[in-house]
Amino acid sequence: MDISKNVNSNDPWDVAEKEQPRGFEFYGQVHADANFIFFPGGGATPVPFDAGIHPANKRVTEIEFRIIPIPEQEISWDESLKILTFSKEWHEIVKPSIDALGLDKLRDINNKWVRVAKVPGFRKRLDRDTGEDTGEFWATYKFMELYADERVCREAYTGEAQNANAASFTKNDPIEDQSKKTAFTFIKVWIAKAAAYLQDREMVEADVKSEIDKNNLISNYYSIDHPDVQKAIDDAMAKENARP
């Protein structure tokens, strides 16, 4: 979806005349992980599958996608999706869209630069209070395009080719500053999640370090030993410890 002509126009009447519907699309780097899980039943939260405890025929495969949008999209939340591979959404929307990208293996989608759209799935969305059918469906991912690198991904979003030095940002470049700001936003999300269920600081560090190390866009700016990261961990742990 090329929205650059509308975004760059200074004439609101011109934009109103040419505006196209905007879907929920993300341009950025995708991080993917696959795990086996087990559903205990009775409405309990699924847990990691343990072959020593759980019956083999109850093993379920779950894929988790996390999208790190390019800074130009100004998205600060954690955009992610978990999907079960026996689901209709996986077989009819998500996997076919990944296959269409031409990758050799499914796992090769990890760390790639993509355009991905949030599209309606097949699960009906019910009203939280009444339980009635809202006429809407829970969204899932449809992968639209695969890009060679971050520069090409940015060009696809802005609709403007960047010069040969586009990837060599200066320290005070506003795009570089925004990238670093976005990176730290995701780190704070990971820290908050880890601190919420891990009470040991070293375990929180290990959990967050794992996320940083497998994310090239983040690790370009921060390591687990960075003072800002350490302070954010301290603040999150203090906040959790203060809860009644």
Beta bridge partners of 126: 133
Unique residue bearing structure tokens 């100004």: 74
Chain mean pLDDT for the chain: 83
Q: Is the pLDDT of residue 40 over 50?
A: yes
- Write down the pLDDT at residue 5: 40
- Write down the pLDDT at residue 3: 43
Q: Is the pLDDT of residue 136 over 90?
A: no
Q: Is the pLDDT of residue 205 over 70?
A: yes
Q: Is the pLDDT of residue 160 over 80?
A: no
Q: Is the pLDDT of residue 81 over 60?
A: yes
Q: Give the mean model confidence (pLDDT) for residues 120-135.
A: 81
Unique residue bearing structure tokens 């939280």: 128
Phi, psi of 202, rounded to the nearest 5 degrees: -65, -35
What's the start-to-end Cα distance of the chain, in Å? 47
Please state whether the predicted TM-score (pTM) of the whole model is above 0.85: no
**Residue pair 106/98 in contact by the 8 Å Cβ criterion:** yes
- Write down the pLDDT at residue 221: 82
Indicate the domain borders of the chain: 4-158, 174-241
Q: Is the pLDDT of residue 29 over 90?
A: yes
pLDDT-wise least confident of 6-15, 20-29, 111-120, 204-213: 6-15
Q: Give the mean model confidence (pLDDT) for residues 85-93.
A: 95
State how far the Cα of 120 lies from the Cα of 46, in Å rounded to an integer: 24
Phi, psi of 76, rounded to the nearest 5 degrees: -105, -5
| Residue 146 confidence class, pLDDT cut points 50, 70, 90 | very high
| Residue 153 confidence class, pLDDT cut points 50, 70, 90 | very high
